[in-house]
Amino acid sequence: MTDELRPRLRPIQAVPYDSGGERLIYLRDTSGVSKKTLVLPLRTFYVVALMDGTRTLRDIQTEYARRFGDILLTESIAEVVTRLDEALMLEGARAEAARRGLAEEFARAPTRKAAHAGAAYPARPQGLVEMLEGFFRGRQGPGPIDRTTEGRTVAAIAAPHIDFKRGGTAYAHAWKALAEGCPAEVFVVLGVTHEPTESLYILTEKPFETPLGLVGCDRTFAQELRRRAELRTGAEELTHRQEHSIEFQAVWLRYVFGSLRPARIVPVLCGSIPEAAKGGDPQALPEVARFTSALRGLLEEYGERAAVVASVDLAHVGRQFGDDAAPDDGLTAQVEREDRELLGHAERMDAAGFYAHNAASGDRRRVCGLSALYTLLNALPARRGRLLHYGQAVTRETQSLVSFAAMAFER
């Protein structure tokens, strides 16, 4: 391994964790290309963080010496590079071959497997049903779904994509509103991709497996949306393979509508609009303008037969996400206040104000579902939104906070 090598870390999630008074960093690949989790001391992680493709091993050695005041041999840095490369966490031939193999396998697969069953939620149907039912009956739950109602006012919902254990009550509020107030059989699910993508909208026509049965894709709607929005086909569809934001909604949809009617989805992952817009008006991006126009046109044509589900979380703050401080009472109150101000724009169906409000803060709360909810507000023919539930989850181990909400959007 030459000193002129410039290693580049792939988009890998780094999660800080305190163990026995020592700060450790967990590295994991949410895309599923690497199936390994690496645990690094803080100084080793500093070395890894310098691997951005621009620095040689000697450059990294120099930066390390400047930061810590001692010398780290280039041979030691090379050992870290080898470890990362073998774990498929570096850009290069190994990771590219693995990704290409996964893309080919996913393209051949007739369905999208339930990637997180048995981990994020029970894989056994009975256990899953019991979990979901419990969220409706809980202290802050909305109560059981009234299967006798036939409301026709709900055109869309926003539900979390945080894990069920932390966000289950919010999920229940959103899906109860949809079950009781929406007659649709086609549901456009706007998820969030948690890895970088070139495309801002990535559609798959694969049905989604769940422990409760298959959730089919409405291929007629999906193909027409792809045609009108000029969506790309190809390797980026692999992003759907491990992404949980649509999978979680598919589980709830099957639970809520499985015995009532043949509900089908149109699964679309949303990339980072703020990153693409670079501070400008998102509607000036042809890809955004085409997609929102195409989706609005189809929703108007389908009328009550189609609805939208935005799978969104809100703030991500604390040490896990790069902040200097852990959440305290003051920060949790500030996050809630700012979240509610942001959601006020969503309640008024004010897409431009919604986006501008977050942009004005420099996205300091790292609103995860911004692109999906912004797209919904632009495309949905609805009168107003209603905030049904707001929640926060604080994780002491990672000293972090994630907020989320449930909303219903009415015709």
Q: Residue 41 pLDDT more than 80?
A: yes
Enumerate the domain spans of the chain. Answer: 13-103, 110-410
Q: Residue 1 pLDDT more than 70?
A: no
Which residues lie closer than 8 Å to 137 by C-beta, 6 or more apart?
Answer: 143, 144
Mean pLDDT throughout 309-334?
Answer: 92
CATH of domain 13-103: 3.90.930
- Residue 18 banded pLDDT, cuts 50, 70, 90: confident
- Nearest-angstrom CA–CA distance, 252 and 403: 20
pLDDT at 323: 87
Q: Residue 145 pLDDT more than 90?
A: yes
- Nearest-angstrom CA–CA distance, 365 and 378: 22
**Residue in the block written with tokens 């700012």:** 338
Chain mean pLDDT for the chain: 94
Query: Given its phi and psi angles, is residue 63 left (phi above 0), alpha (psi -120 to 50 degrees) or beta?
Result: alpha
Q: Residue 380 pLDDT more than 70?
A: yes
- Residue 326 banded pLDDT, cuts 50, 70, 90: confident
| Cα-based distances in Å from 147 to 33, 134, 182, 203 | 42, 17, 12, 31
**Residue in the block written with tokens 């070395």:** 47
* Top-tier CATH class for 110-410: alpha beta
pLDDT at 319: 86
Four-residue CA torsion sign, 332, 334, 340, 343: negative
pLDDT at 398: 83
DSSP characters for 80-104?
A: HHHHHHHTT-BSSHHHHHHHHHHHH
Give the percent of the chain with pLDDT over 70: 99
Q: What is the pLDDT of residues 49-71, one digit of tens each?
A: 999 999 999 999 999 999 999 99
Mean pLDDT throughout 256-278?
Answer: 91
Counting every residue written for the chain, the total comes to: 411
Nearest to 401 by CA among 341, 314, 279: 314
Q: What is the pLDDT of residues 164-203, one digit of tens each?
A: 999 999 999 999 999 999 999 999 999 999 988 999 999 9
**Threshold 0.85, pTM exceeds:** yes
For residue 177, the number of C-alpha atoms closer than 13 Å in the C-beta half-sphere is 26
Please state the φ and ψ torsions of residue 130, each to the nearest 5 degrees.
Answer: -60, -40
Strands 400-410 and 154-159: antiparallel
Q: Six-digit token pair at 134?
A: 């419990």
The mean-pLDDT minimum among 2-6, 168-172, 336-340, 389-393 falls in: 2-6
